[in-house]
């Protein structure tokens, strides 16, 4: 039953709304899109591995957008651009820049003052950036990758494991991940911290 449902869902044709800005016209199903995006993201990861980013660079609006662009540049015309409409999640579209600026500034303060452990700083960044929801799509994946880059390049620690991946398609893992995000919404970062290194 579960398998059939998942199979059907991934075979679902994308509707016109979902195709807005899609650069590859041959993509017609959710599954094809997921796979194409995944390849694009893997290229972005490779690009990041060949670089050494400083904390001051990572924590800038320019880098936040550039990373999203690198992750989705072959897939979406709007890669790296803030969303221009409101969603049921995220701040008002006019507040994206200001809220992001505030978050990056908070993050620099936490680092300068050792307010939290390095892991917790990266996790708080991940959680708040996905709450702002700067982009039309890909915010979950982008928020995890920027947290990985901050711990690796900024804090010289191993990247997170995020429950050992597959959180976008494994139902049990996804449930655990979303539960950890809900806890973080209530200022309890412990479950997300644990999940990220599981
Ligand atoms: N209640 C919530 N609180 C915080 N983050 C959430 C919540 N619900 C969903 N999210 C985040 O938003 C993401 C979905 O946004 P989306 O832009 O579609 O990202 P992606 O395409 O990478 O999954 C989820 O992966 C999750 O990280
Ligand atoms: Mg999405």
- Tell me the per-residue pLDDT of 42-68, one tens digit each, with 9 for 90 and over: 999 999 999 999 999 999 999 999 999
DSSP labels, 152-183: IIIT--PPP-TTTS-TTT-HHHHHHHHHHHHH
Note whether 123 and 183 are same-domain residues: no
Note the pLDDT tens digit of each residue in 119-160. 999 999 999 999 999 999 999 999 999 999 999 999 999 999
Note whether 151 and 72 are same-domain residues: yes
Tell me the percentage of the chain whose pLDDT exceeds 70.
Answer: 94
Greater pLDDT, 17 or 6: 17
Return the CATH number at 143: 1.10.3290.10
Note whether 97 and 32 are same-domain residues: yes
Kindly give the distance from the C-alpha atom of residue 62 to the centroid of ligand 2, in angstroms, as a whole number.
Answer: 22
Query: Domain containing 127: what range?
Result: 24-80+88-159
* pLDDT at residue 5 greater than cutoff 80: no
What mean pLDDT, rounded, does the chain reach?
A: 93
* pLDDT at residue 39 greater than cutoff 80: yes
Residue whose C-alpha is closest to residue 158's, from 119, 114, 117? 119
Report angle CA 78, 137, 12 to the nearest 5 degrees: 110
Q: What is the pLDDT of residue 13?
A: 87
Q: What is the pLDDT of residue 1?
A: 39
Question: How far apart are alpha carbons 178 and 184 in whole angstroms?
Answer: 10
Tell me the percentage of the chain whose pLDDT exceeds 90.
Answer: 84
* pLDDT at residue 4 greater than cutoff 70: no
**7 within some domain:** no
Q: How far is CA 61 from the centre of its chain?
A: 15
- Residue 8 pLDDT class (50, 70, 90 cuts): low
Question: How far apart are alpha carbons 173 and 97 in whole angstroms?
Answer: 31
Residue nearest to atom 12 of ligand 1 (CA): 140
**76 within some domain:** yes
Site residues for ligand 1, CB cut-off 6 Å: 89, 130-131, 137-141, 181, 185
- Residue 10 pLDDT class (50, 70, 90 cuts): low
Note whether 187 and 142 are same-domain residues: no
Note whether 109 and 195 are same-domain residues: no
Question: How far apart are alpha carbons 35 and 116 in whole angstroms?
Answer: 36
Of all ligands present, the nearest one to the C-alpha of 140 is: 1
DSSP 54: -
Of all ligands present, the nearest one to the C-alpha of 83 is: 1
Total number of domains constituting the chain: 2
Which whole-number Å values give the CA distances from 160 to 42, 99, 115, 117, 120, in the listed order? 16, 25, 20, 14, 12
């Amino acid at each position: 039953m579960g398998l059939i449902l998942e199979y059907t869902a991934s075979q679902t044709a994308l509707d016109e709304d979902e195709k807005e800005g899609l650069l590859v016209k041959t993509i017609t199903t959710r599954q094809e899109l997921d796979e194409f995006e995944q390849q694009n993201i893997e290229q972005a990861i490779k690009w990041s591995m060949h670089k050494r980013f400083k904390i001051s660079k990572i924590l800038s609006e320019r880098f936040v957008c550039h990373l999203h662009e690198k992750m989705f540049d072959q897939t979406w015309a709007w890669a790296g651009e803030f969303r221009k409409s409101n969603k049921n999640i995220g701040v008002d579209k006019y507040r994206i820049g200001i809220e992001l600026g505030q978050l990056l500034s908070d993050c620099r303060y936490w680092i300068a003052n050792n307010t939290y452990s390095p892991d917790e700083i990266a996790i708080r960044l991940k959680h708040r950036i996905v709450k702002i929801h700067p982009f039309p799509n890909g915010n979950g994946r982008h928020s995890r990758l920027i947290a990985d880059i901050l711990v690796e390049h900024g804090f010289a620690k191993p990247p997170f494991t995020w429950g050992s991946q597959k959180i976008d398609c494994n139902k049990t893992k996804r449930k655990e991940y979303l539960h950890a995000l809900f806890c973080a919404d209530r200022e309890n970062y412990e479950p997300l911290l644990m999940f990220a290194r599981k």
